[in-house]
């Protein structure tokens, strides 16, 4: 019996998707629940599993095509017998006689199967006509990352040039020919959506940024003292983000307009705290949401952030993970950023930017001491948030982090 493989119901507010890549060809045998094709929406990549075991009889939609919910992607011939049907009745030629020394053992199959490649990696391999088997993966379980492919392409390009030893040719006065090229690559749907939202934020909000700096001496000391016992007790690492999330919630409670959003001519105040945590992935920047963080412990926050980061790396983020949010925290410090002005995540009215921790000489009670300092930035929508509230929000954040006992006593 033939079964139609269709585009699954798309998440709310998503009208269409792009077919990124098929994992099977016409005539290939498939097993039930095996991923057949990846569909990319504005925010997530959806996998379309096989509803039954059988043979992929016909592919109706090709890579790169825009599809809508319910559209037929392929026809599957159900049943194991279908998978066993030969494509053609070809008689094999008798093997030629050879000595044992002439027999070559078959090469082992690549450990990186296509279903372990993210859409961006698979696209990069296809664009450069590159076999995944030649690229050494440095990701989890040997998974190939986009950086691995770029590294291979870069080293391969160098190998093409070095046999001629251009340095030596220049030394003797010879002219060296250098090949220059460029590549035009369309934006992914996620990158295009990021660009759209960034422009939207700058055009539709009166965006302004205020700064402060925080002495993290006590947070670092507290973290160092309890880091090992915390990990043993909760099976999760104690990072800095949980401190900033907790401190942000306390500041948002004092200045609720920073946790609000604008809808037309109305201000929507939220009595809950759903904090978006900016996470970098191969597909681009994502902002998964931590729900009701005011009810979460330090261990809950760290565990949930770790789980969301893993989902971003694996490409398994869902629309539910990315929908909503009343305030966002982004940490450019992990990449070495010392200072930046983060862009709002519409329709939110505030975003906190964390930066690199840097030891600097500071005046402490009349003495110069070297302290671990971090610049923080709050970008806010000046239509509803006054400068006084934005500045006091950062002052509250600073007070909580420079004296972490405040977070426990809520003072």
DSSP 254-282: H-GGGG-EEETTEEE--SS--EEE-EEET
CATH superfamily for domain 112-176: E3-binding domain (4.10.320.10)
| Percentage of the chain lying above the pLDDT 90 cut | 40
Active-site residue, 382 included: yes
> In whole numbers, what is the pLDDT of the chain averaged over residues?
82
| Percentage of the chain lying above the pLDDT 70 cut | 82
Three-state secondary-structure class, residue 363:
strand
- Annotated domain spans of the chain: 1-81, 112-176, 207-409
pLDDT of residue 91: 47
Q: pLDDT per residue over 3-40, tens digit each?
A: 888 988 876 667 788 888 888 888 888 888 888 888 88
DSSP 194-207: HHHHHHHHHHHS-E
CA distance 133 to 4: 32
Q: Which of 130-134, 142-146, 381-385 has the highest average model confidence (pLDDT)?
A: 381-385
DSSP 127-179: HTT--GGGSPP-SGGGPPPHHHHHHHHHHHHHHHHGGG-HHHHHHTT------
Three-state secondary-structure class, residue 182:
coil
Q: Which of 79-88, 275-284, 393-402 has the highest average model confidence (pLDDT)?
A: 393-402
Tokens of 227: 């880091």
Angle at alpha carbon of residue 256, lines to 254 and 260, rounded to 5°: 160
pLDDT of residue 194: 74
Angle at alpha carbon of residue 120, lines to 116 and 122, rounded to 5°: 55
97: confidence class by pLDDT, cuts 50, 70, 90? very low
- Helix/strand/coil percentages in the chain, nearest 5: 35, 25, 40
Class of residue 299 by CB neighbours under 10 A (exposed 0-12, middle 13-18, buried 19+): middle
pLDDT of residue 237: 92
Angle at alpha carbon of residue 91, lines to 88 and 96, rounded to 5°: 140
Tokens of 219: 């947070």
Neighbours of 187 (CB within 10 A): 11
With beta carbons less than 8 A apart as the criterion, state whether 267 and 384 touch.
yes
Set 16, 314, 382, 403: catalytic member? 382
Three-state secondary-structure class, residue 71:
coil
Do 1-81 and 207-409 have matching folds? no
CA distance 76 to 54: 7
Active-site residue, 234 included: no
With beta carbons less than 8 A apart as the criterion, state whether 55 and 83 touch.
yes
**Does the pLDDT value for residue 176 go beyond 80?**
no
**Does the pLDDT value for residue 276 go beyond 60?**
yes
CA distance 395 to 264: 30
CA distance 288 to 279: 7
**Does the pLDDT value for residue 399 go beyond 50?**
yes
pLDDT of residue 173: 52
Looking at domain 207-409, which of 1.20.58.760, 3.40.50.1820, 3.30.70.20, 3.30.559.10 is its CATH number?
Answer: 3.30.559.10
Q: Could you give the angle at which helices 217-234 and 387-402 cross, rounded to 10 degrees? A: 70
Three-state secondary-structure class, residue 305:
helix
CA distance 142 to 60: 33
pLDDT of residue 150: 79
Looking at domain 1-81, which of 3.30.420.40, 3.40.630.30, 3.30.470.20, 2.40.50.100 is its CATH number?
Answer: 2.40.50.100
| 42-51 average pLDDT score | 80
Comparing 19-23, 197-201, 387-391, which segment has the lowest mean pLDDT? 197-201
CA distance 311 to 317: 5
Whose tokens are 């090229």? That residue is 181
**Does the pLDDT value for residue 295 go beyond 60?**
yes
Q: Which residues of 257-279 are buried (b: 16+ CB within 10 A; e: fewer)?
A: bbbbbbeeeeeeebeebbbbbbb
Which of the pair, 345 or 313, is modelled with greater confidence? 345
Residues forming a β-bridge with 85: none
Neighbours of 129 (CB within 10 A): 6
């Amino acid at each position: 019996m033939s079964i139609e493989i269709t585009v699954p119901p798309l998440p709310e507010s998503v009208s269409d998707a792009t077919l990124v890549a098929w994992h099977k060809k016409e005539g290939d045998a498939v097993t039930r629940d095996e991923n057949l094709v990846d569909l990319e929406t504005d925010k997530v990549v959806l996998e379309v599993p096989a509803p039954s075991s059988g043979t992929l009889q016909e592919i109706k939609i090709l890579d790169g095509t825009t599809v809508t919910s319910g559209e037929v992607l392929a026809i599957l011939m159900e049943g194991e017998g279908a998978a066993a049907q030969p494509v053609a009745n070809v008689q094999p030629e008798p093997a030629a006689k050879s000595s044992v020394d002439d027999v070559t053992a078959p090469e082992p199959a690549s450990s990186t199967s296509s279903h372990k490649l993210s859409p961006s990696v698979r696209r990069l391999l296809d664009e450069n006509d590159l076999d995944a088997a030649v690229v050494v993966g440095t990701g989890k379980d040997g998974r190939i990352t986009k950086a691995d492919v770029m590294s291979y392409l870069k080293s391969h390009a160098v190998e093409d040039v070095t046999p001629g030893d251009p340095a030596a040719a220049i030394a003797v006065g010879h002219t060296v020919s250098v090949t220059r090229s460029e590549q035009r690559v369309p934006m992914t749907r996620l990158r295009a959506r990021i660009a759209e939202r960034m422009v939207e934020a700058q055009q539709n909000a009166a965006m302004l940024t205020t700064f402060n700096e925080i002495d993290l001496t006590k947070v670092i000391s507290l973290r160092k003292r309890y880091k090992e016992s915390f990990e043993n007790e909760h099976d999760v690492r104690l990072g800095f983000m949980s401190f900033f999330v907790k401190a942000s919630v306390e500041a948002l409670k004092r200045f609720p307009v920073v946790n609000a959003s604008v809808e037309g001519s109305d201000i929507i105040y939220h009595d809950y705290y759903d904090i978006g945590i900016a996470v970098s992935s191969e597909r681009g920047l994502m902002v998964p949401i931590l729900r009701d963080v005011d009810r979460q412990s330090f261990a809950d926050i760290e565990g949930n952030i770790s789980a969301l980061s893993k989902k971003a790396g694996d490409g398994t983020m869902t629309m539910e993970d990315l929908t909503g949010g009343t305030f966002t925290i982004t940490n450019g410090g992990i990449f070495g950023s010392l200072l930046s002005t983060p862009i709002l995540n519409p329709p939110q009215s505030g975003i906190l930017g964390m930066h690199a921790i840097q030891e600097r000489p500071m005046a402490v009670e009349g003495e110069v001491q070297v302290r671990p300092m971090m610049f923080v930035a709050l970008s806010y929508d000046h239509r509803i948030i006054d400068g006084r509230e934005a500045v006091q929000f950062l002052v509250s954040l600073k007070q909580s982090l420079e004296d972490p006992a405040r977070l426990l006593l809520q003072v």
